[in-house]
Amino acid sequence: MILRDFVAASSPRLRRAVAAAAVASGLVAGTVAPGDAAGETKSGPITLVAFGDSLTAGYMLPKKDGFAAQLEATLRAEGRDVRVIDAGVSGDTTDMGLARLEWSVPAEAQAVIVELGANDALRGQPPEAARRNLDEIVARLTARGQKVLVSGMLAPRNMGASYAAAFDPIFAEVAGKYGALHHAFFLEGVAMHPEFTLPDGLHPNAAGVKRIVAGILPKVHELLDRVGK
């Protein structure tokens, strides 16, 4: 799929810091039962962390319409006992995600969706840097015993064919290196469809998030099956 030229849209640093702190507070405040280790199948819901940028965070949307909330509602409607934690921070690049990984994703969570990279491409950052950061993120999560789903992103085509050729394969290759699951493109069926995006043409609206959830859901099922529930 060819994307329209993106316009970089990131929140002010203060807003991003406040959002990150709020995420951390929610994660620390008892979202996981004490004593549950990553990958264990004790009683209680699976804790699935959605770790990403504004696409995960639900930029400009009510909390109930964001990715984490819609995914959790869908899974629970299917009878899955899952709690989805929103660890998305608007404006984050892969290096910013790596910097906050240890406190954004608790070791007790059994599964993690990694959705980062869009802002790296929007800012024209070197693909090899994004690769290193994502590799380290997935390596650390895997070493904890957490099950990982890496969701891919496509480079804006105005960056040129050589940039896209270096950037687009990163996600599948990093996932494959660590035996993680891979979802090809987080915005599949949403990018380039104005009816599913906000006026900026980039961020999904509530209907767009619903479509994203539907698209990634089969891989989320695989992820939860790896946890054992």
95 a catalytic residue? no
Q: Pick the catalytic residue: 10, 53, 168, 203? A: 203
Residue in 5, 81, 200, 225 annotated catalytic = 200
Residue of 10, 36, 54, 120 marked catalytic:
54
State both tokens at 124. Answer: 């024209």
Residue 200 appears among annotated catalytic residues:
yes
**Whole-angstrom Cα distance, residue 224 to residue 80?**
9
Please tell me the distance from the alpha carbon of residue 223 to that of residue 204, in angstroms, as a whole number: 24
What are the residue ranges of helices labelled H in 144-197?
161-167, 170-178
In angstroms, what CA-CA distances link 142 with 109, 139, 160, 177, 200? 12, 5, 33, 11, 35
Give 185's contacts (C-beta < 8 A, 6+ positions apart): 1, 151, 152, 153, 154
Residues whose CB falls within 8 Å of the CB of residue 88, separated by 6 or more in sequence, listed in order: 23, 50, 51, 52, 53, 54, 55, 56, 57, 58, 66, 67, 68, 115
Return the structure tokens found at 36. 């549950």
Query: Is position 203 annotated as part of the catalytic site?
Result: yes
Which residues does the annotation mark as catalytic?
54, 200, 203
